[in-house]
Protein backbone atom coordinates (compact mmCIF):
# COMPACT_ATOMS: atom_id res chain seq x y z
CA UNK A 1 0.00 0.00 0.00
CA UNK A 2 1.33 3.39 -0.98
CA UNK A 3 1.72 6.16 1.57
CA UNK A 4 -0.44 8.32 -0.72
CA UNK A 5 -3.49 6.63 0.83
CA UNK A 6 -2.50 7.63 4.37
CA UNK A 7 -1.71 11.13 3.10
CA UNK A 8 -5.24 11.29 1.72
CA UNK A 9 -6.66 10.22 5.10
CA UNK A 10 -4.60 12.90 6.81
CA UNK A 11 -5.66 15.59 4.33
CA UNK A 12 -9.34 14.70 4.70
CA UNK A 13 -9.05 15.04 8.47
CA UNK A 14 -7.28 18.40 8.21
CA UNK A 15 -10.06 19.69 5.97
CA UNK A 16 -12.60 18.57 8.56
CA UNK A 17 -10.54 20.44 11.18
CA UNK A 18 -9.62 17.48 13.36
CA UNK A 19 -6.95 18.16 15.98
CA UNK A 20 -3.39 17.47 14.86
CA UNK A 21 -2.90 14.83 17.59
CA UNK A 22 -6.13 13.06 16.61
CA UNK A 23 -5.00 12.95 12.99
CA UNK A 24 -1.64 11.46 13.95
CA UNK A 25 -3.26 8.81 16.16
CA UNK A 26 -5.91 7.82 13.62
CA UNK A 27 -3.38 7.53 10.79
CA UNK A 28 -1.14 5.38 13.02
CA UNK A 29 -3.99 2.99 13.87
CA UNK A 30 -5.08 2.75 10.24
CA UNK A 31 -1.50 1.95 9.26
CA UNK A 32 -1.32 -0.77 11.94
CA UNK A 33 -4.63 -2.22 10.72
CA UNK A 34 -3.35 -2.36 7.14
CA UNK A 35 -0.03 -3.93 8.18
CA UNK A 36 -1.85 -6.51 10.33
CA UNK A 37 -3.68 -7.71 7.23
CA UNK A 38 -0.59 -8.04 5.06
CA UNK A 39 -0.69 -4.49 3.68
CA UNK A 40 -3.95 -5.09 1.85
CA UNK A 41 -5.93 -2.00 0.92
CA UNK A 42 -8.86 -1.33 3.31
CA UNK A 43 -11.27 -1.49 0.36
CA UNK A 44 -10.43 -5.19 0.13
CA UNK A 45 -11.18 -5.71 3.83
CA UNK A 46 -14.49 -5.90 5.65
CA UNK A 47 -16.00 -5.96 9.14
CA UNK A 48 -14.60 -9.43 9.86
CA UNK A 49 -11.11 -8.04 9.33
CA UNK A 50 -11.85 -5.15 11.68
CA UNK A 51 -13.07 -7.60 14.33
CA UNK A 52 -9.95 -9.74 13.91
CA UNK A 53 -7.71 -6.73 14.42
CA UNK A 54 -9.59 -5.59 17.53
CA UNK A 55 -9.43 -9.15 18.90
CA UNK A 56 -5.68 -9.21 18.26
CA UNK A 57 -5.15 -6.01 20.24
CA UNK A 58 -6.78 -7.58 23.30
CA UNK A 59 -5.79 -11.24 23.06
CA UNK A 60 -2.22 -10.75 21.85
CA UNK A 61 -1.26 -7.22 22.86
CA UNK A 62 -3.36 -7.03 26.02
CA UNK A 63 -4.18 -3.37 25.44
CA UNK A 64 -6.37 -1.35 27.79
CA UNK A 65 -10.00 -0.58 26.94
CA UNK A 66 -9.15 3.03 26.13
CA UNK A 67 -6.50 1.97 23.62
CA UNK A 68 -8.82 -0.48 21.89
CA UNK A 69 -11.52 2.20 21.74
CA UNK A 70 -9.10 4.60 20.06
CA UNK A 71 -8.26 1.98 17.42
CA UNK A 72 -11.97 1.35 16.83
CA UNK A 73 -12.69 5.08 16.45
CA UNK A 74 -9.95 5.35 13.84
CA UNK A 75 -11.40 2.46 11.82
CA UNK A 76 -14.94 3.82 12.14
CA UNK A 77 -13.69 7.08 10.61
CA UNK A 78 -11.79 5.20 7.90
CA UNK A 79 -14.78 3.20 6.71
CA UNK A 80 -17.35 5.95 7.10
CA UNK A 81 -15.47 8.89 5.61
CA UNK A 82 -12.81 7.38 3.33
CA UNK A 83 -14.08 3.98 2.15
CA UNK A 84 -17.71 5.16 2.43
CA UNK A 85 -18.86 1.80 3.79
CA UNK A 86 -19.77 2.50 7.44
CA UNK A 87 -19.12 -0.25 9.94
CA UNK A 88 -22.01 -1.98 11.66
CA UNK A 89 -22.95 -0.92 15.18
CA UNK A 90 -23.01 -4.63 16.10
CA UNK A 91 -19.38 -5.59 15.56
CA UNK A 92 -18.52 -8.82 17.38
CA UNK A 93 -15.08 -8.60 18.99
CA UNK A 94 -13.43 -9.28 22.35
CA UNK A 95 -13.63 -6.14 24.44
CA UNK A 96 -10.71 -5.24 26.64
CA UNK A 97 -11.22 -5.67 30.38
CA UNK A 98 -7.67 -4.70 31.33
CA UNK A 99 -8.09 -2.53 34.43
CA UNK A 100 -6.51 0.87 34.62
CA UNK A 101 -3.31 0.81 36.66
CA UNK A 102 -3.10 2.61 39.97
CA UNK A 103 -1.16 5.84 39.40
CA UNK A 104 2.48 6.22 40.43
CA UNK A 105 2.80 9.05 42.93
CA UNK A 106 5.89 10.76 44.31
CA UNK A 107 6.19 11.89 47.89
CA UNK A 108 6.70 15.61 48.45
CA UNK A 109 10.36 14.96 49.26
CA UNK A 110 10.74 12.99 46.02
CA UNK A 111 9.07 15.83 44.11
CA UNK A 112 11.64 18.25 45.56
CA UNK A 113 14.55 16.02 44.55
CA UNK A 114 13.09 15.40 41.10
CA UNK A 115 12.43 19.06 40.28
CA UNK A 116 15.96 19.98 41.31
CA UNK A 117 17.25 17.41 38.81
CA UNK A 118 15.26 18.74 35.82
CA UNK A 119 17.29 20.59 33.18
CA UNK A 120 16.87 24.37 33.66
CA UNK A 121 15.17 25.00 30.29
CA UNK A 122 12.46 22.43 31.11
CA UNK A 123 12.07 23.17 34.80
CA UNK A 124 9.26 25.73 34.46
CA UNK A 125 7.16 23.29 32.43
CA UNK A 126 7.64 20.64 35.14
CA UNK A 127 6.67 23.19 37.80
CA UNK A 128 3.38 23.62 35.93
CA UNK A 129 2.82 19.90 35.42
CA UNK A 130 3.11 19.34 39.15
CA UNK A 131 2.07 22.71 40.59
CA UNK A 132 -1.07 23.08 38.47
CA UNK A 133 -1.83 19.43 37.66
CA UNK A 134 -1.63 19.93 33.90
CA UNK A 135 -1.64 17.19 31.32
CA UNK A 136 1.43 17.10 29.08
CA UNK A 137 -0.28 18.61 26.02
CA UNK A 138 -2.13 21.18 28.12
CA UNK A 139 1.25 22.41 29.30
CA UNK A 140 3.00 22.69 25.94
CA UNK A 141 -0.08 24.30 24.34
CA UNK A 142 -0.32 27.15 26.86
CA UNK A 143 -0.48 30.64 25.34
CA UNK A 144 0.91 33.71 27.06
CA UNK A 145 -2.55 35.14 27.81
CA UNK A 146 -3.57 31.95 29.63
CA UNK A 147 -1.47 33.02 32.63
CA UNK A 148 -3.40 35.21 35.08
CA UNK A 149 -0.88 36.87 37.37
CA UNK A 150 -3.53 38.85 39.27
CA UNK A 151 -5.51 35.83 40.42
CA UNK A 152 -2.68 33.25 40.48
CA UNK A 153 -4.43 30.94 38.06
CA UNK A 154 -4.09 29.43 34.59
CA UNK A 155 -6.88 29.08 32.06
CA UNK A 156 -6.99 25.80 30.15
CA UNK A 157 -8.95 25.84 26.89
CA UNK A 158 -10.31 22.91 24.89
CA UNK A 159 -8.77 20.28 27.13
CA UNK A 160 -9.73 16.60 27.07
CA UNK A 161 -13.33 16.32 25.94
CA UNK A 162 -13.28 19.93 24.72
CA UNK A 163 -13.65 21.23 28.29
CA UNK A 164 -12.36 24.55 29.67
CA UNK A 165 -11.22 25.01 33.25
CA UNK A 166 -9.26 27.29 35.57
CA UNK A 167 -6.44 25.79 37.66
CA UNK A 168 -4.30 27.09 40.47
CA UNK A 169 -0.86 28.61 39.90
CA UNK A 170 1.91 28.75 42.49
CA UNK A 171 2.81 32.44 43.03
CA UNK A 172 6.41 31.33 43.65
CA UNK A 173 6.93 30.85 39.90
CA UNK A 174 5.62 34.25 38.78
CA UNK A 175 9.11 35.58 38.10
CA UNK A 176 10.00 32.56 35.99
CA UNK A 177 6.75 32.88 34.06
CA UNK A 178 7.41 36.56 33.34
CA UNK A 179 10.92 35.70 32.20
CA UNK A 180 9.48 33.03 29.91
CA UNK A 181 7.05 35.54 28.41
CA UNK A 182 10.03 37.83 27.75
CA UNK A 183 11.60 34.99 25.78
CA UNK A 184 8.37 34.60 23.81
CA UNK A 185 8.38 38.35 23.16
CA UNK A 186 11.90 38.24 21.74
CA UNK A 187 10.91 35.48 19.29
CA UNK A 188 7.74 37.37 18.43
CA UNK A 189 9.60 40.58 17.57
CA UNK A 190 12.02 38.67 15.35
CA UNK A 191 9.24 36.76 13.62
CA UNK A 192 7.17 39.82 12.79
CA UNK A 193 10.10 41.09 10.70
CA UNK A 194 10.13 37.91 8.61
CA UNK A 195 8.53 38.42 5.22
CA UNK A 196 6.58 35.16 5.07
CA UNK A 197 5.73 34.76 8.77
CA UNK A 198 2.00 34.13 9.14
CA UNK A 199 1.68 34.23 12.91
CA UNK A 200 0.81 31.49 15.35
CA UNK A 201 -1.67 28.68 14.63
CA UNK A 202 -5.26 29.29 15.75
CA UNK A 203 -8.31 27.02 15.63
CA UNK A 204 -10.51 27.74 12.63
CA UNK A 205 -13.32 29.47 14.55
CA UNK A 206 -10.88 31.81 16.27
CA UNK A 207 -9.25 32.67 12.94
CA UNK A 208 -12.58 34.00 11.70
CA UNK A 209 -13.49 35.79 14.93
CA UNK A 210 -10.07 37.36 15.61
CA UNK A 211 -8.53 38.00 12.21
CA UNK A 212 -5.33 39.61 13.52
CA UNK A 213 -4.87 37.54 16.68
CA UNK A 214 -2.38 35.21 15.01
CA UNK A 215 0.26 37.95 15.11
CA UNK A 216 -0.50 39.23 18.61
CA UNK A 217 1.85 38.35 21.45
CA UNK A 218 -1.02 37.23 23.70
CA UNK A 219 -1.84 34.30 21.41
CA UNK A 220 1.70 33.01 21.00
CA UNK A 221 2.74 29.84 22.79
CA UNK A 222 4.30 30.11 26.24
CA UNK A 223 6.84 27.44 25.30
CA UNK A 224 7.70 28.23 21.66
CA UNK A 225 9.77 26.03 19.41
CA UNK A 226 13.23 27.38 18.60
CA UNK A 227 12.56 26.78 14.91
CA UNK A 228 9.90 28.01 12.54
CA UNK A 229 7.92 25.36 10.68
CA UNK A 230 5.28 25.03 7.98
CA UNK A 231 1.70 24.53 9.07
CA UNK A 232 0.73 21.08 7.68
CA UNK A 233 -2.83 22.32 7.14
CA UNK A 234 -2.04 25.49 5.15
CA UNK A 235 1.70 25.42 4.42
CA UNK A 236 2.09 28.81 6.12
CA UNK A 237 5.25 29.63 8.09
CA UNK A 238 4.58 29.63 11.83
CA UNK A 239 6.25 29.20 15.22
CA UNK A 240 4.69 26.23 16.94
CA UNK A 241 5.04 25.14 20.56
CA UNK A 242 7.87 22.86 21.72
CA UNK A 243 7.58 19.19 20.84
CA UNK A 244 6.24 17.27 23.81
CA UNK A 245 8.78 14.52 23.24
CA UNK A 246 11.57 16.87 24.32
CA UNK A 247 9.84 17.50 27.62
CA UNK A 248 9.21 13.77 28.06
CA UNK A 249 12.91 13.07 27.54
CA UNK A 250 13.85 15.75 30.07
CA UNK A 251 11.54 14.12 32.63
CA UNK A 252 13.10 10.71 31.99
CA UNK A 253 16.59 12.18 32.35
CA UNK A 254 15.66 13.89 35.63
CA UNK A 255 14.10 10.66 36.93
CA UNK A 256 17.35 8.83 36.24
CA UNK A 257 19.45 11.63 37.71
CA UNK A 258 17.36 11.83 40.90
CA UNK A 259 17.60 8.04 41.39
CA UNK A 260 14.12 7.87 42.91
CA UNK A 261 13.43 4.36 41.65
CA UNK A 262 9.91 4.98 40.34
CA UNK A 263 8.61 5.12 36.78
CA UNK A 264 8.22 8.88 36.43
CA UNK A 265 6.36 10.43 33.50
CA UNK A 266 4.64 13.76 32.93
CA UNK A 267 1.42 12.20 34.21
CA UNK A 268 3.19 11.12 37.41
CA UNK A 269 3.51 14.82 38.27
CA UNK A 270 -0.22 15.31 37.67
CA UNK A 271 -0.99 12.27 39.84
CA UNK A 272 1.24 13.67 42.57
CA UNK A 273 -0.51 17.07 42.35
CA UNK A 274 -3.91 15.45 42.97
CA UNK A 275 -2.71 13.22 45.80
CA UNK A 276 -0.89 16.04 47.58
CA UNK A 277 -3.96 18.28 47.32
CA UNK A 278 -6.01 15.59 49.07
CA UNK A 279 -3.28 15.11 51.66
CA UNK A 280 -3.36 18.85 52.28
CA UNK A 281 -7.07 18.76 53.09
CA UNK A 282 -8.67 19.70 49.75
CA UNK A 283 -12.06 18.08 49.20
CA UNK A 284 -12.40 15.65 46.34
CA UNK A 285 -14.79 17.89 44.36
CA UNK A 286 -12.18 20.65 44.33
CA UNK A 287 -9.55 18.20 43.10
CA UNK A 288 -11.99 16.95 40.46
CA UNK A 289 -12.45 20.52 39.17
CA UNK A 290 -8.70 21.17 39.14
CA UNK A 291 -8.03 18.01 37.13
CA UNK A 292 -10.96 18.51 34.78
CA UNK A 293 -12.49 15.09 35.47
CA UNK A 294 -16.09 14.71 34.30
CA UNK A 295 -16.82 11.91 36.79
CA UNK A 296 -15.73 12.18 40.43
CA UNK A 297 -15.12 8.41 40.42
CA UNK A 298 -12.11 9.04 38.21
CA UNK A 299 -10.71 11.36 40.89
CA UNK A 300 -11.41 8.91 43.71
CA UNK A 301 -8.59 6.66 42.54
CA UNK A 302 -6.22 9.03 44.34
CA UNK A 303 -7.77 8.22 47.68
CA UNK A 304 -6.20 4.76 47.33
CA UNK A 305 -2.73 6.29 47.26
CA UNK A 306 -2.88 8.25 50.48
CA UNK A 307 -0.56 7.17 53.25
CA UNK A 308 -3.40 6.65 55.70
CA UNK A 309 -4.63 3.64 53.69
CA UNK A 310 -7.43 2.87 51.28
CA UNK A 311 -10.48 5.07 52.01
CA UNK A 312 -9.00 6.10 55.36
CA UNK A 313 -9.08 2.59 56.88
CA UNK A 314 -6.38 1.92 59.47
CA UNK A 315 -4.59 -1.42 59.11
CA UNK A 316 -5.34 -3.86 61.97
CA UNK A 317 -1.62 -4.55 62.10
CA UNK A 318 -1.07 -0.94 63.14
CA UNK A 319 -3.66 -1.32 65.91
CA UNK A 320 -1.93 -4.51 67.06
CA UNK A 321 1.40 -2.75 67.33
CA UNK A 322 -0.16 0.13 69.25
CA UNK A 323 -1.74 -2.24 71.80
CA UNK A 324 1.71 -3.70 72.55
CA UNK A 325 3.33 -0.34 73.28
Give the domain CATH number at 46: 1.10.150.130
> Is residue 57 located within the same domain as residue 141?
no
Q: 172 and 306 share a domain? A: yes
Domain end point (choices 34, 50, 82): 82
Q: What are phi and psi of 237, to 5 degrees?
A: -80, 125
Q: What was the pLDDT predicted at 1?
A: 46
Sign for the CA dihedral angle at 214, 215, 221, 223 comes to positive
Report if residue 160 sits inside a domain: yes
Among the listed residues 20, 252, 262, 267, the single catalytic one is 267
Residue 103 is predicted with a pLDDT of: 87
Q: Is residue 93 part of a domain?
A: no
- Among this protein's residues, is 270 annotated catalytic? yes
To the query of whether residue 155 is one of the catalytic residues in this protein, the response is no
Domain with residue 166: its CATH number is 1.10.443.10
In a domain, 91, yes or no: no
For residue 24, what pLDDT is reported? 92
Q: Which of 26, 79, 197, 302 is catalytic?
A: 302
Q: Known catalytic residue: 18?
A: no
Domain shared by 143 and 200, yes or no:
yes
Count Cβ atoms within 10 A of the Cβ of residue 265 and give its class: 0-12 exposed, 13-18 middle, 19 or more buried.
middle
The answer on 265 and 174 residing in a single domain is yes
Q: Would you say residue 90 lies in a domain?
A: no
* Same domain, yes or no: 37 and 160: no
Number of domains in the chain: 2
Q: What is the rounded CA–CA span in Å between residue 80 and residue 16?
A: 14
Considering the domain architecture, whether residues 245 and 300 belong to the same structural domain is answered as yes
Flag whether 87 is in a domain: no
If asked whether residues 27 and 125 sit together in one domain, one would say no
Same domain, yes or no, for 77 and 135? no
Residues 6+ apart with CB under 8 A from 219: 143, 144, 145, 199, 200, 202, 210, 213
Are residues 45 and 165 both part of a single domain?
Answer: no
267 as an active site residue: the answer is: yes
Confirm whether 186 is domain-assigned: yes
Q: Among 82, 116, 139, give the residue marking a domain's end.
A: 82
95 located within any domain: no
Look at residue 313 in the predicted model and tell me its pLDDT. 61
Ranges under pLDDT 50 in the chain = 1, 310
CB atoms within 10 A of CB 182: 9
The residue out of 55, 82, 109 marking a domain boundary is: 82
Catalytic residue among 143, 239, 270, 271: 270
pTM: predicted TM-score of the whole model, two decimal places: 0.81
Print the SS3 string covering the chain. Answer: CCHHHHHHHHHHHHHCCCCHHHHHHHHHHHHHHHHHCCCCCHHHCCHHHHHHHHHHHHHCCCCCHHHHHHHHHHHHHHHHHHCCCCCCCCCCCCCCCCCCCCCCCCCHHHHHHHHHHCCHHHHHHHHHHHHCCCCHHHHHCCEHHHEECCCCEEEECCCHHHCCEEEECCHHHHHHHHHHHHHHHHHHHHHHCCCCECCCCCCHHHHHHCCCHHHCHHHCECCECCCCEECCCCCCEECCECCHHHHHHHHHHHHHHHCCCCCCCHHHHHHHHHHHHHHCCCCHHHHHHHHCCCCHHHHHHHHHCCCCCHHHCCCHHHHHHHHCC
Same domain, 150 and 299: yes
Q: What is the per-residue pLDDT for 318?
A: 64
Q: Which of 160, 163, 194, 308 is catalytic?
A: 160
- Please tell me whether residues 25 and 71 are part of one structural domain: yes
User: Of 220, 239, 271, 293, which is the active-site residue?
Assistant: 293
In a domain, 73, yes or no: yes
Active-site annotation holder among 31, 135, 145, 165: 135
Which domain covers residue 52, as residue numbers? 3-82
Is there a single domain that holds both residue 186 and residue 251? yes
pLDDT at 324: 60
Q: How far is CA 103 from CA 60, 106, 267, 273, in A?
A: 24, 10, 9, 12
Amino acid sequence: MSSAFLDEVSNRMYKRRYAKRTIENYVLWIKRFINFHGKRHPQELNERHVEAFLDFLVLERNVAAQTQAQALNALVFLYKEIIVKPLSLELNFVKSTTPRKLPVVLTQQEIHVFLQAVAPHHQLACFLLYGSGLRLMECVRLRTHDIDFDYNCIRIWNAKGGKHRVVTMAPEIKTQLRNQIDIVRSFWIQDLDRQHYDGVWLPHALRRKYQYANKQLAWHYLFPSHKLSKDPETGHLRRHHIDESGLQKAIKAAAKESNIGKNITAHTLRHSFATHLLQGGADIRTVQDQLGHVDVRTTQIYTHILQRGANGVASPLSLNFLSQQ
